[in-house]
Amino acid sequence: MPTPIATAVPVTHTGILGLGVYRPRRVVPNAEIVAAIDSSDEWIRTRSGIAARHWAEPDETIVGMSVAAARDALRAAELDGAEVDAVVLATSSQMVLGPSAGAVVATELGMHDTAAYDVSAGCAGFCYALADAANLVRSGQARNVLVIGVERLSDLLDTTDRSCAFIFADGAGAVVVGAAAQEGIGPVAWGSDGSRTSAIKQDKGFQEYFAEVAAAEASGGTSVRPYIRMNGTEVFRWAVTFLEKACRDALDRAGVAASELDAFVPHQANIRITDALVRTLGLPETVAVARDIIETGNTSAASIPMAMEQLIRSGGARPGDTALLLGFGAGLAYAGQVVHLPPIA
Ligand code: UT7
């Protein structure tokens, strides 16, 4: 008989206790980027919904934006950093592979000896991290978990690329997950399809880039840094055909009917994808739909918490409302869950 090992003491219910965001100072309207991609404000608004986005300035780092969003999330949750046992940070644009941004954020928030790590799941990253956090709390492994979605995608943008330059943007959103009196985070519906990585990806690895730099130095030639690339049509088709199943799966697992939702907060990829999902799910007009993409662009792992905050701040939805979240993108990966919306700072 092996030596018995104790288990952590599980809690029955988890919830999102508070939400905070950081929007970079610099607002970039369509007019500023159209010349380089031979486009127009009207084309971008009609094909994507985007009117403007925020691009971070040099001092608005992944860590700095995360810390700002996390401080507000903790304030909204009325919790101190000392009560947080883990930090889970989702991003695809942190250019430093080690240490994890999560560990640096935890330290900058004054936390000591706190578990911290990063999650890479593209635009689904926030919902992956939220599921992870809910499971850590539910299992009794952590009292409270700080979940952060953060991006500086402008660092990976080829500003002459017609498919990507107008879409991607920067920002951060954070939530605190902890024990709750009733369930506030439903089971996650998630998956991925690595056979379709070419639909959205970094166009070259850093090893390939470093070899190019070395060759260029030796020959006096030039090298081109890695950029994010996307086959927009392929992603668009996948989103409007496959993701209905993901939404229904998340609703079924939570035991919530589409007609019982107060709000729908999908990843802010393209307003036409959001509209198509609203139609195929048959969401009634009473469901508030997040359309933060208009002013914020597509901030990948940060888009869902930022869109939640915008929806609550504008009065479209209230803390406690029942909402379906759905993240999707590079991987191709997706994750969705039904939640009760949190208070905001
Ligand atoms: O966050 C990760 C997930 N990402 C997404 O979900 C993004 C999904 N994809 C999309 O949002 C859309 O595919 C885009 C907004 C990127 C593009 O919209 P589209 O309706 O799929 O455009 P398209 O690529 O099919 O191109 C339609 C037309 C073409 O012209 P013709 O052949 O019809 O004459 C393009 O040359 O629009 C032209 N076009 C542009 N025109 C002005 C393509 N890009 C641009 C542009 N400005 N930036």
Residue 233 one-letter amino acid: T
269 shares its domain with 169: no
Domain residues for 313?
A: 189-195+228-340
Spatial contact of 120 and 330, defined as CB atoms under 8 Å apart: no
Residue minimizing CA distance to atom 10 of ligand 1: 232
The CA-based angle 290-123-104, given to 5 degrees, is 110
| Of 336, 314, 263, nearest in space to 21 by CA | 314
Kindly state whether residues 25 and 118 are assigned to the same domain. Answer: yes
What is the reported pTM? Answer: 0.96
Cα of 333 to ligand 1 centre, how many Å?
21
210 in helix, strand or coil?
helix
Q: Is 231 labeled as catalytic in the residue annotation?
A: no
CA 278 to CA 270: how far, in whole Å?
13
Q: Is residue 209 part of a domain?
A: no
Same-domain pairing of 50 and 155: yes
Asked about 267 being catalytic, the answer comes back as: yes
> Residues near ligand 1 with C-beta < 6 Å?
37, 39, 43, 47-48, 123, 162-163, 166, 200, 232-233, 235-236, 239, 269-270, 273, 298, 300, 329
Q: Has residue 329 been placed in a domain? A: yes
> Which ligand 1 atom is at minimum distance from the Cα of 235?
8
**Are 21 and 137 within one domain?**
yes
128 lies in some domain = yes
Q: Which numbered atom of ligand 1 lies nearest the CA of 37?
A: 48
Inter-axis angle of helices 101-108 and 62-77, nearest 10: 50
In a domain, 1, yes or no: no
CATH number (domain holding residue 286): 3.40.47.10
Domain boundary among 145, 179, 213: 179
The CA radius of gyration of the chain, in Å to the nearest whole number, is 20
For the stretch 275-323, pLDDT in tens is 999 999 999 999 999 999 999 999 999 999 999 999 999 999 999 999 9
- What is the tally of structural domains in the chain? 2
Kindly report, residue by residue over 118-160, the tens digit of the pLDDT.
999 999 999 999 999 999 999 999 999 999 999 999 999 999 9
259 domain-assigned: yes
Closest-CA residue, ligand 1 atom 9, reads 232
> Does a structural domain hold residue 70?
yes
Residue 77 lies in a domain: yes
